[in-house]
Amino acid sequence: MNLDETDLKLLRLLQVDATISNKELAHRLHKSIAAIHERVKKLKAKGYIKKVVAILDRQKIGMGLISFSQVFLKAHTAEVLNQFEHDVAKFPEVMECYQMAGSYDFMLRIATKDMEAYHEFLRHKLAVLPQVNTVQTYFVLSETKSETLYPI
């Protein structure tokens, strides 16, 4: 699917506020409500819109500690890599997991209530995975920018 200018404008608007009605989208884009409805449906079906979510204030829900962990694995076979990805995907504390090129194998963004909760996560979940060799963690002191909008 090739995205035209209307599709791009639609995606930009939905990135800012996914609750905006098809009526309002149609008004802003000078299209019919039916046309907007079909475009959104097609963008979802083709995977351009993966899901629609609410972005919560992590402080208000008690997730006060964000950390980034560099994970070094014991081996680099497809089986070890796949098993690590499978295992780590089950942990609700892991918000993001990226396989990396460079000196470490994976980067995890982890959200926990506090340092004690992170310590429990590390000792009883992450560090006990059989694929894990070493974990180096960095704790966020302040957050200057956290964005979900892609520049399209």
Burial of 121 (0-12, 13-18, 19+ CB in 10 A): buried
Residue with tokens 């964005």: 147
Q: What is the pLDDT of residue 1?
A: 75
Per-residue pLDDT of the chain (152 residues; tens, 9 = 90+): 799 999 999 999 999 999 999 999 999 999 999 999 999 999 999 999 999 999 999 999 999 999 999 999 999 999 999 999 999 999 999 999 999 999 999 999 999 999 999 999 999 999 999 999 999 999 999 999 999 999 99
CA distance to 2, 89, 105, per residue, from 140 (Å)? 39, 22, 21
Which domains does the chain show, CATH number per domain?
5-45 (1.10.10), 65-139 (3.30.70.920)
In 3-state terms, what secondary structure has residue 73? strand
